Amino acid sequence: MSFTLAEGLNQALHDAMSADERVIVFGEDVGQLGGVFRITAGLQAEFGNRRCFDTPLAESGIVGTAVGFAMNGFRPVVEIQFDGFMFPAFDQIVSHVAKYHSRTDGAVRVPIVIRIPYGGGIGAVEHHSESPETYFVHTAGLRVVTPGTPEDAYGLLRAAIESDDPVIFLEPKRRYYEKSDGDLPTSSAEFTKAAYRTRGETATIATYGPTVRTCLEAARVAKEEGWSLEVVDLRTLSPLDIGTVVESVERTGRLVVVHEASGTLGMGAEVAALVQERAFYSLEAPVQRVAGFDIPYPAALLEEHHLPSIDRILDAVERTLEY
Amino acid sequence: MSFTLAEGLNQALHDAMSADERVIVFGEDVGQLGGVFRITAGLQAEFGNRRCFDTPLAESGIVGTAVGFAMNGFRPVVEIQFDGFMFPAFDQIVSHVAKYHSRTDGAVRVPIVIRIPYGGGIGAVEHHSESPETYFVHTAGLRVVTPGTPEDAYGLLRAAIESDDPVIFLEPKRRYYEKSDGDLPTSSAEFTKAAYRTRGETATIATYGPTVRTCLEAARVAKEEGWSLEVVDLRTLSPLDIGTVVESVERTGRLVVVHEASGTLGMGAEVAALVQERAFYSLEAPVQRVAGFDIPYPAALLEEHHLPSIDRILDAVERTLEY
Amino acid sequence: MNADPNVLLPTAEPISFLSPDGTLSPDTPHIGLSDADLVGMYRDMVRTRTLDTLAVSLQRQGQLGVWASCRGQEGAQVGCAKALSPDDWVFPGYRDHGVTLVRGVPFPNVLKQYKGVWHGCYNPYDHKVASHSIPISTQLLHATGFATASKFRGELNAVITFTGEGGTSEGDFHEAVNYAAVYQAPVVFFIQNNQFAISLPRAHQNAAPTIAHKGVGYGAQGYLVDGNDIIATYFVTKAALDRAKSGLGPSIIEALTYRMQPHTTADDDTRYRTREEIEAWAEKGPILRFERFLRSRDLLDDALEARIREEATEEANLVREELINAIAPPVERLFDAVFTEPTEQLSAQKRFLLHEMGEVEA
Amino acid sequence: MNADPNVLLPTAEPISFLSPDGTLSPDTPHIGLSDADLVGMYRDMVRTRTLDTLAVSLQRQGQLGVWASCRGQEGAQVGCAKALSPDDWVFPGYRDHGVTLVRGVPFPNVLKQYKGVWHGCYNPYDHKVASHSIPISTQLLHATGFATASKFRGELNAVITFTGEGGTSEGDFHEAVNYAAVYQAPVVFFIQNNQFAISLPRAHQNAAPTIAHKGVGYGAQGYLVDGNDIIATYFVTKAALDRAKSGLGPSIIEALTYRMQPHTTADDDTRYRTREEIEAWAEKGPILRFERFLRSRDLLDDALEARIREEATEEANLVREELINAIAPPVERLFDAVFTEPTEQLSAQKRFLLHEMGEVEA
Ligand SMILES: Cc1ncc(C[n+]2csc(CCOP(=O)(O)OP(=O)(O)O)c2C)c(N)n1
Ligand SMILES: Cc1ncc(C[n+]2csc(CCOP(=O)(O)OP(=O)(O)O)c2C)c(N)n1
Ligand SMILES: [Mg+2]
Ligand SMILES: [Mg+2]
């Protein structure tokens, strides 16, 4: 048996809809087409067009109506077609999805999952390769989750749908077809814990989503150089399980944070700020960040320069070692 | 002579419009009313209703049409009425204002200034006290500026209007009526440099906008305790003049970053990440952050708990001293 | 769908039955309101006016941060609210005090929101009234989603949501009506055209013949009504709700009215409109007109009017008392209300604050 | 403003002069196109079709990341583009290749955008064509602002901007048309209703009688036209542009057409539509129809058609060559193009990359 990250997501939606009839799925082209990445394939056929349906072309509408559905007893799982098209919905996300529960002192729950394929590396045209996690993580009232493996794709999506809080679910689109050799999981994964993907002593690499695999590859290459890297997959970006990172850094003394989003106020900034605060005397060298440049996401022929590469990650490790 | 921060802004708009007829001002209620804070008062009467005019009630429209005006030779200075109403315009800001210049490899310039009164402390209702700077600073392609003094209100706004790049101009609304005793400046201020507001050796405080004054007050109180604090006003949040902060920390060995925005991925994260990287061996203690909690901005009766207070700042200084 | 455009267009003139002098047009259809209903409508308009006036004075006394008065709009607000069934839901804005009052939301709780006790001071499920929405027109999408959810479950209620003529310019207005029409959701978009959006006169807000003409572009029914005529407003809202409940989809009602007070207590309306304009509208006000009508029908006399006003004043006194005594919830709620379950991060921040306040050990 | 609603409404039936068999209606008004103009329109439709076909094959060969074909929409695109004056500006979407071609934007530059050479591969000022906009309908606001700016300066040009029937659902569509009507901006909103937004059929996009009925709700003129009739499209666009230039404000043109190809080369349209439907529309296609017309007028014969097609093929060969040889600009541009002046931060990041690439010292 093996399954892809995309299949994990599709199965998770399927199982969540079977388990709870309040779960509904909507967004642009998610019905008959099954979504442009086919993550919702088969759901309309199986559950009917009141449980999985197409919306008109308007993202604020998708999220804003989801708030109403949620207030009225449903558990909407909505799809934003691409990262770059999340922005028209941003007001609804910040002003209502994130605030309604606290606004009403807990009277109104908004168990909405907003699925967003994100990140680059697929040779796409403009606006199809954004990494918007900072916008959500900085916004109080949202949970932000991103799977780095096919198992987590299933388990974290189930957990997100089961959560009574709003969840931004970021799907690393360039890893949709990444395979796992195991069996599909059948239950939700633990929601708020980071995970060690490899163990090691030379340095800690903290990452998430699409670059989990890049970092694992870097760790393999590093082995040849005699380094053993400990790769921490953050999994949940908000709230952040910084404890796991700190625990690792206390052993390795060195930390590199890796992500595609622009470096300035990317996740690496928060991880670095927390780690220098909590593991000040453990750090042998400053926390290094390997992130996208502070530039608009480049066109396809140039994106390779922007994305964290194995070499760039290993260079950063080296900087921590030579410091 | 003395003038308020609001007067500095009004005069800057006036002088910029006199100096360059391509400068136009628009937004909700900026015309006859002069804006809800009167920052645009008198402009329509003086320059006519094609240079200062009211828009319909639609923020994406304000910023989106500004892009068109800018492409067609104007230099729009637009007002978003309150921080919380910036979000409907966020897509235009991220997808076009920030990207058009690089999209066209420099062929299209978008010299737009987006003025946003921001921050809390005025006892306002929901959505009127947000601190959205992170959203902009993380977005490549924007300059982000915020004055902390009446002089800078004038000088930085002139500089923002003169810039050929898009500028997000964040106005600390609770300081609109803060006075300066000097004369109104008459020319633009240096754009990309942080400024020392006090000199000191005990610790460095980096801040900006509404909390500049709070930090200066903290510095005064600290003096009584025998501490001399060095307050750095960042002024430009993007690109950030981290050099000035590092230079200070190299002398003081201690840094506290202060802002109202939620701590997680607030400016303090970036400052801490950069400083631990560039002044690793200078830091005697971890960089401390005094920031808003990771909660939606509270209602008026509770906001005092959320805002950085003198005590909270001094406690943080103390933590760096006792580390 | 793709309904006959001619049917969707509003009437050329606003629907109106009650003239400013209180005469009921002979063409008035059967409306089905009992005498008691009519007096009840009057009472609620008086209550709204009285409590709104109280709020303005509370603000002047420093008890409220700000207040958005609904003075002059009581006919539109009470009229439409009276057309609702108990199961219907309301998604209001920040000025719809007459609506929330009729629905039973305790007025002190509305005031507390402007005092800054908490952002939303009533439980939406108690009275089927969503939290008032401050970002303009954003709540319209919630209303559409909510209504569609009801429809999907086969329920027979409808939803009404409110924005101003200014609010129709926002993108969310457009998306909300469009979604509603596509889903044939049982929702009514009630637009109070009070002639101003802060300082912007209606003519600069849009160039449409009427706002009700926006309906046809979505396949939604457009209605134009004299919002200062409480009977016409009731009638039209009822028609739109019935239409919605019969599965015929959404409507846009444009209720013509006038904002008698500045935008909020923070506003200075002398900068953009004349006293004469305001006075001319006062003549056409909703309460006076209805009073005349009731008197002409012998449903109201001096004694009854005095009693109604007195009761409203007594109510206002109690409200005032409650508001003045209102205090903020404990600071713990700031942290505990963010998520449905506490997070480590927020628990730590809560402890930090409590410690700072001297209430717990570090 | 507040124009007569009846005037703003579109005609009940789409304006159409040329029937699918190529006969011109006797009611056709004087259009003012010379024989050479007519042949030029045909030539540009053929060029568009040929180059679009080339693009699809280039994508299959791995030369383009993706391609959004305009096949079937040549009548609408060439027809409206021909109605523009040289000073008019165009704000296109991602599928408006016929428009940009007529405006003189070099086709290789359009292709390069889909190859990923850079996001915007032509200078908007060169041909008065803004960068194609990928976020749907966002460019409509740019068009409104641009047009208003021209009006403020007293210039006599107009602006035309494009979106699909799907794009009319976005909030930005609404705000753009509303602002334009309030400012009486000289802008034409040209909506190609090609029946689908990716997989979503038009009937699920909105419930309006026609999209042209959206005009009245803004005080904008609505036009409904057969977009596969290049003559009617030209005529209606010209009327809307003339209207705009005379200061009468914006129009919405709904051009009825059909997307003959999948949404993009990445799409599988067999999941949501039938071959029969596509074939039925092919019969009503814009090129065939116009060819028949030209032949009936003796403006086209086999020899001329062959020559036109041959020239288009030759052009396609050159385009292909140029595209295949296109390479990305130097990586420095990634940093230097962000702001008008270099920043320290980006200069440092540039040096970092160049160093990594072995091109500079650290
Ligand atoms: C999205 C958004 N933008 C701006 C504001 C600021 N604002 C508050 S009320 C108002 C005018 C509203 O006018 P209208 O919709 O006509 O309602 P009215 O106040 O007249 O009842 C504005 C601009 C806001 N609350 N929300
Ligand atoms: C804001 C935004 N949301 C979603 C998309 C993804 N998307 C690309 S094309 C498309 C459908 C557009 O349909 P329509 O407007 O009818 O134009 P057509 O493609 O038919 O020419 C969608 C949903 C996008 N590009 N922008
Ligand atoms: Mg109004
Ligand atoms: Mg389409």
Split at pLDDT 50, 70, 90, the class of B320 is very high
**How far away, in angstroms, is B13 Cα from ligand 4 center?**
43
Residues of D within an 8 Å Cβ radius of C? 1-5, 8-9, 169-175, 178, 181-182, 184, 203-210, 213-220, 249
* Tokens of residue C341, six digits: 């379950």
Any D CB within 8 A of A303 CB:
yes
Rg of the Cα trace of chain B? 19
Q: Write out chain D residues lying below 8 Å of A32, CB-based.
A: 199, 271-272
Give the minimum alpha-carbon distance from D177 to chain B in angstroms, rounded to a whole number. 10
CA distances to C219, D289, D291 from D296, in Å? 41, 11, 8
Write the pLDDT tens digit of every residue in A230-288.
Answer: 999 999 999 999 999 999 999 999 999 999 999 999 999 999 999 999 999 999 999 99
Note whether C65 contacts B: Cβ–Cβ < 8 A.
Answer: yes
pLDDT at D360 over 90: no
Calpha distance C290→C274 (Å, rounded): 26
Query: Cβ of D354 under 8 Å from any chain A Cβ?
Result: no
Per cent of chain B over pLDDT 70 is 100
- Looking at residue D235, its amino acid is F
What is the residue type of D290?
Answer: F
How far apart are the CA of D220 and the centre of ligand 1, in A?
Answer: 24
Q: Is C31 exposed, middle or buried (0-12, 13-18, 19+ CB in 10 A)?
A: middle
Q: Please give, rounded to a whole number of angstroms, the shortest distance from the CA of D121 to a CA of chain C.
A: 31
Which residues on D lie below 8 Å from C170 (Cβ)?
171, 175
Considering only CA atoms, which residue is closest to atom 3 of ligand 1? B85
Q: Residues with Cβ within 6 A of ligand 1?
A: B 28, 57, 81, 85, 88; C 95, 134-136, 163-167, 194, 196-198, 259, 263
Residues from chain B that touch C172, judged by Cβ atoms under 8 A, are 88
Sign of the Cα torsion D347, D350, D354, D356 reads positive
Q: Does residue A66 carry a pLDDT above 50? A: yes
- Does B131 score more than 80 pLDDT? yes
pLDDT, position B245:
98
Contact criterion met (CB below 8 Å) for B244 and B217: no
- For residue B74, pLDDT over 50 is answered with yes
Confidence of residue A191 (pLDDT cuts 50, 70, 90): confident
Q: How far is the CA of D198 from the centre of ligand 4 (A)?
A: 7
- For the record, the structure tokens of C67 come out as 């207040």
Show Cβ contacts of residue C48 under 8 Å, excluding neighbours closer than 6 positions: C70, C74, C77, C78, C97, C98, C101
Return the sign of the alpha-carbon dihedral for residues A171, A177, A180, A186: positive
Active site residue A259: no
Mean pLDDT of C329-353: 97
Q: What counts of helices (H) and strands (E) characterise chain D?
A: 15, 7
Q: Write phi, then psi, for B237 (nearest 5 degrees).
A: -90, -25
H/E run at residue B221? helix B211-224
Atom of ligand 2 nearest to the CA of D138: 1
> If you average pLDDT over residues C97-120, what whole number do you get?
98
Mean pLDDT computed over A147-160: 98
**Closest residue by Cα to residue B72 from D197, A50, A275, D154:** D154
With a cut of 70, say whether residue C3 has pLDDT above it. no
Q: From atom 4 of ligand 2, which residue's Cα is the shortest distance away?
A: A85
Can you point out the beta strands (E) in chain A? 3-4, 23-27, 52-54, 75-79, 113-118, 143-145, 167-172, 179-180, 195-196, 203-207, 229-233, 236-238, 255-262, 288-292
At residue C330, what are phi and psi to the nearest 5 degrees? -60, 145
Mutate to test the interface with A, among C113, C131, C170 (most CBs of A within 10 A): C131
List the catalytic residue out of A101, A128, A259, A306.
A128
B286 min Cα distance to partner chain A (Å):
5
pLDDT band at B225 (very low <50, low <70, confident <90, very high): confident
pLDDT greater than 90 at residue D2: no
**Mind listing the pLDDT tens digit for each residue in B160-217?**
999 999 999 999 999 999 999 989 999 999 888 999 999 999 999 999 999 999 999 9
Average pLDDT, chain C: 97
What pLDDT, on a 0 to 100 scale, did the predictor assign at position C33?
Answer: 96
Residue of C272, C274, C359 to mutate, testing the B interface (most B Cβ within 10 Å of its Cβ): C272
**Phi then psi dihedrals of residue C234, to 5 deg:** -60, -50
Q: With 60 as the cut, is the pLDDT of residue C1 above it?
A: no
Average pLDDT over residues C304-318: 98
Q: How confident is the model at residue D1 (pLDDT cuts 50, 70, 90)?
A: very low
**Distance between CA atoms of C274 and C277, rounded to whole angstroms?**
5
Q: Are C176 and C137 in contact (CB under 8 A)?
A: yes
Strands B195-196, B229-233: pairing kind: antiparallel
